[in-house]
Chains A and B, each alone.
Chain A
Amino acid sequence: SAVISQKPSRDICQRGTSLTIQCQVDSQVTMMFWYRQQPGQSLTLIATANQGSEATYESGFVIDKFPISRPNLTFSTLTVSNMSPEDSSIYLCSVEEPTGYGYTFGSGTRLTVV
């Protein structure tokens, strides 16, 4: 499986500010995925990040709120913009397993907005 390094692991932020989360993979991958895990809930896909093109956002998520960068095949960032307490969640990045079945996840970023 790919090894994913995600940082920061946690942060407490003031409302109205922005936080950028970084995700580094130890191998080149075509697609990287960003998920949100709200407290006590399951994972929801935010967007798919392809290198060299704009990210594809799922219903309910927009680029202005969650801008994504994908400068190369091993790195991506997700920014949570103009944060409110409702954005308090765990954010995880993910890449596809080499077998093509299932996905590997980073350790997540636990965000608390106060």
Chain B
Amino acid sequence: GEDVEQSLFLSVREGDSSVINCTYTDSSSTYLYWYKQEPGAGLQLLTYIFSNMDMKQDQRLTVLLNKKDKHLSLRIADTQTGDSAIYFCAESRDSSASKIIFGSGTRLSIRP
């Protein structure tokens, strides 16, 4: 079946850029999402990208999509302590909830 994989942990220095990577197996993926989960909170939709795009930028966030390699990345520029969270990659063929597959999440920690 479809699968989404992420590395479990990432540690970066405050002020540096963070790059969180994700690979997926479903070549029919149409929507790709990045969610952020802060401690004790629910998931917050950060951004999404359509499969016919290769890049999307929103302030400090840049999403890159390599559809050929089925690779998605989230770059956070000038990483701050408030960026500490778990980041989930997710993909779906359509906007129906039953088709969304989540990765296991990458825990981003910031060191001074």
Contact = CB atoms under 8 A, between A and B. Distances in A.
A104 interface: yes
Contact of B97 (A40, A41, A48, A106): A48
B55 interface: no
B42 A102 contact: no
Q: How large is the interface on A (under 10, 10 to 19, 20 to 34, 35 or more residues)?
A: 20 to 34
Nearest to B50: A101
Interface of B: 4, 31, 33, 35, 40-45, 48, 88, 95, 97-98, 100, 102-105
B33 A102 contact: yes
A42 B100 contact: no
A48 B98 contact: yes
A114 interface: no
Interface string A31-70: 1010000001111010010000000101000000000000
Contacts of B40: 9, 107
Given A42-B4, A103-B97, A108 B102 contact: no
A28 interface: no
Given A42-B4, A43-B88, A96-B95, A102 B105 contact: no
A93 to B, nearest CB: 9
A58 B102 contact: no
A31 B98 CA distance: 12
